[in-house]
Amino acid sequence: MVDTASFKGRDIISMRDFSREEIDFILDRATDMIPLVEKGSDLLRGKILAALFFEPSTRTRLSFESAMCRLGGSVIGFAEPKVSSVVKGETLSDTIKVVESYSDVIAMRHPSEDAARIAADVASIPIINGGSGPWEHPTQALLDLHAIRTTKGNIDGLTIALVGDLLYGRTVHSLAIALRNYDVKVYFVSPKQLKMRDDVIKDVAGRLDYVETEDLRKVLPDLDILYATRVQKERFSDPADYDKVKDAYLIDSTFLKGVKRDLKVMHPLPRITEISTDVDDTAHALYFRQVKHGVFLRMALLALVLGAL
Ligand code: NCD
């Protein structure tokens, strides 16, 4: 049985580590947090979150910080590794061993795929992965599921397209793995060069009803959720390769003619050219409301791993 004891002291590293019951439990706790955003709460008073961001971030870092503040806790950390001892050559393991003396939980983003696991291995306090290179971004997947469930009423039964950079986009890796727990139909829509990475395909095979395609227009009328992603420029070694695929899918209000009336367009943000601003004011746009779920979800996760619920 899943209860709060299942999460106390736990690391949040990969969606591969979570069952459907656990995911649903976290989503329920995120819903419980919604009234506390306005009312305020002392649930995490005296607790300290260390936010260690070795890669750029707006939403993930600020929503972790906002979540901690909403629950009465405090935040320390850095948003720029150049101001930390990393520039002097300190290893990640040493940084983590030090920071755990100053805090109760660490949220971390790092360019290396293994960073979150390495940190979790050395730390005695919970590590929450806020993005580990192109590998995974589990808290984003959870907030995406919470946004979907809140908007659509449930996740089972939906037809969902993950669109864009499925090779380097860590949000879609975590989301695809999470969705293998639900009764959904998923289209992986990408240019040939940016097909879903092999380890994700291997881990969803047999558990997720998915189809890989390059043709978004063809699947568009079936969709309940269109989840667009940015082509991850920073992961390309040759800028010419990036230029070839950067505008592979451009979604504007004209393109959306003929979709289901209640199709929701999602995006982890930041968007570059994937979604035109003329979609923003349509009933399809969920992306700016989606970000709010990051606060509810991260409030729930912090409270759970700190054993406060
Ligand atoms: C994403 C990320 O950092 O992986 N942003 C986010 O956390 N909301 C998506 C991206 O950078 O494209």
Q: Are 130 and 142 members of one domain?
A: no
> Residue 109 catalytic?
yes
Strands 185-189 and 264-266: unpaired
Q: How do residues 98-157 score in pLDDT, each as one tens digit?
A: 999 999 999 999 999 999 999 999 999 999 999 999 999 999 999 999 999 999 999 999
> Residue 298 catalytic?
no
Total tally of structural domains belonging to the chain: 2
Q: Distance (Å, rounded) from C-alpha 309 to C-alpha 5? A: 9
Q: Are 41 and 123 members of one domain?
A: yes
Q: Are 144 and 98 members of one domain?
A: no
Inter-CA distances, 44 with 23, 71, 291, 307, Å: 22, 5, 22, 10
Point out the catalytic residue in the list 39, 82, 88, 257: 88
Q: How do residues 155-202 score in pLDDT, each as one tens digit?
A: 999 999 999 999 999 999 999 999 999 999 999 999 999 999 999 999
Q: Are 100 and 171 members of one domain?
A: no
> Residue 88 catalytic?
yes
Nearest CA to ligand 1 atom 8: 268
Q: Are 178 and 112 members of one domain?
A: no
Residue 238 has pLDDT above 90, yes or no: yes
Q: Which atom of ligand 1 is nearest to the CA of 230?
A: 12
Q: Are 156 and 274 members of one domain?
A: yes
Q: Are 229 and 217 members of one domain?
A: yes
Is 137 near ligand 1, meaning CB less than 6 Å away?
Answer: yes
Q: What is the DSSP letter of 197?
A: P
Range(s) of the domain holding residue 237: 138-290
Q: Are 188 and 253 members of one domain?
A: yes
> Residue 137 catalytic?
yes
DSSP string, 162-209: EES-TTT-HHHHHHHHHHTTS--EEEEE--GGGPPPHHHHHHHTTTSE
Strands 48-53 and 105-110: parallel
User: What percent of the chain has pLDDT above 70?
Assistant: 100
Q: Are 125 and 217 members of one domain?
A: no
Is 132 near ligand 1, meaning CB less than 6 Å away?
Answer: no
- Residue 223 belongs to domain with CATH number: 3.40.50.1370
